[in-house]
Amino acid sequence: MHLSKKCSVFRVVLSALLIVALLQLIYLSFLSRFHGKQQRYRYSELFGSSAAKKNAHPEKNTRKERLRYSLSSGGIFDNSGQYRVYKNLIKSDFTTNQKPGSHSNSDILILATHTTINNLHHLESLLERWKNPLSVAIFAHGEDVKFATALVYALSFFCPQIQALVDFHLVCLSGETASFPEQDREHFAGLEDCASVFSRLETHRDKYQNYAMSGNVSYPNNLLRNVARGGTESSYILVIDIDMMPSADLHQQFLAMILRRPPAADEVFVLPAFEIRHARKIPSTKAELVQLYQVGEVRPFYEELCPRCQAPTNYSQWVNSHVRETGTLEVAYTLNWVDPWEPFYIGPRTVPLYDENFKQYGFNRISQACELHVAGFRFSVLSSAFVVHRGFKIQGEFHAKKEEENKQNRVLFRSFKEGLKTKYPSSTRRC
């Protein structure tokens, strides 16, 4: 009798467990179908299915049509004929709403940067720090052209701050074309918000080792810099690599400074460049940076690879120079350019373009700094602003052809310097 009661209780418990398991399966099935339906709608909303057009936001459709129009142009070839350039592939709301000839505080200084798709994930933290208009030139080739087009569109679709402030430009090989990503659903399943797009970009992180790109393709860094800075009508431009971070509130502090102290036409403003251990948080202020500098967690940019390339900044003088008050930016001291200095700086839009013959590794930035010097510019070092590269640059982390490329570009640099004599015949300055 007792055993029979136990069996009955066991059957009741077992039945209850089976019912719970069945309900869970039904619920999971419902969730799966709902998620699939949601994903199909998200994809069609993103990439243009007519099923979603009735319910899609008008501004999203407008953005979609603008992308279609940009792509339909087929881009333009660069001066060498080797690359195809899609300028303003996707415009920010800031650029779209800007009236010709008008200027606001936001567009007096714009940050311009360049990257491949494998480093585009840095955009999130860079924009979080910068908080103002930003121009990004992306180089892609092969399958990455399609991937880059779709992902930057998804970023502008899902990320309000990117939508508001970031202009995207695309550069690919001249034999390649970008197209609207309507048939690539399998690549974009799971894209449902800004975080999911950056998660997808993380899967392409560090795909190539520095400039080592597949297919023996050259990374046209100076072309990209020119495309990024040429996409703006700002009075001043800061050009940095996407894996570098400016000091906090630089935009606001620089505007306040030039209101107090109007810049000379032949003046650029140097931001001392540093690099920080990967594990460390990027400092926001000079006080934070100096603390890390004093314990060796931050050091001058390229200190191990080319200490002479940044030494003219005079780090000792800058670190020890007194900042009069928090939030006030001023010129600490002014320097003449000396070989082989390659500073990062804020300059007027009238500064010479980067020479696009330089590609891959070596002499791409120093050539432009050299031209600034010959053209008569002076270099004013800012008191508390700086840029920081994520991670120490160390020997052995570069691609195999680094030294070969450096040697080729050194020869090109000699020729470039001779050309400056003709370009600036009245200048007594030489590199």
225-249 pLDDT, tens digit per residue, is 999 999 778 899 999 999 999 999 9
Helix (H) or strand (E) holding 332: strand 331-335
For the whole model, what pTM was predicted? Answer: 0.85
Domain ranges, ordered by start, for the chain: 33-47+58-242, 243-430
Mean pLDDT of 357-363: 87
Residue-level pLDDT at 123: 97
Mean pLDDT of 336-358: 96
Question: Which of 45-54, 74-83, 285-294 is least confident?
Answer: 45-54
300-315 pLDDT, tens digit per residue, is 999 998 999 999 999 9
Starting from the edge strand earliest in sequence, which strands make up the sheet with 273-276, in order?
A: 244-246, 387-390, 273-276, 298-300
Question: CB within 8 A of 11, min separation 6: which ones?
Answer: none
Residue-level pLDDT at 409: 86
3-class SS of residue 83: strand
Residue 38 confidence (pLDDT) above 60: no
Give me the helix-helix angle, 143-158 and 58-72, nearest 10°: 150
Residue with the larger pLDDT of the pair 11 and 140: 140
Residue 3 confidence (pLDDT) above 70: no
Is the CB of residue 219 less than 8 Å from the CB of residue 401?
no
Residue-level pLDDT at 216: 77
Q: Distance between CA 53 and CA 233 in Å, rounded?
A: 34
Query: Helix H segments across 159-216?
Result: 160-165, 185-188, 194-202
Distance of CA 242 to the CA centre of its chain: 4
Q: In this structure, is the dihedral angle defined by the CA atoms of residues 220, 226, 230 and 236, taken in order, positive or negative?
A: positive
Q: Distance between CA 395 and CA 256 in Å, rounded?
A: 40
Q: Residues for the chain: how many in total?
A: 431
Residue-level pLDDT at 39: 43
Residue-level pLDDT at 34: 42
367-410 pLDDT, tens digit per residue, is 999 999 999 999 999 999 999 999 998 876 766 677 778 788 89
- At residue 18 the predicted structure's pLDDT band, cuts being 50, 70 and 90, is confident
- At residue 418 the predicted structure's pLDDT band, cuts being 50, 70 and 90, is very high
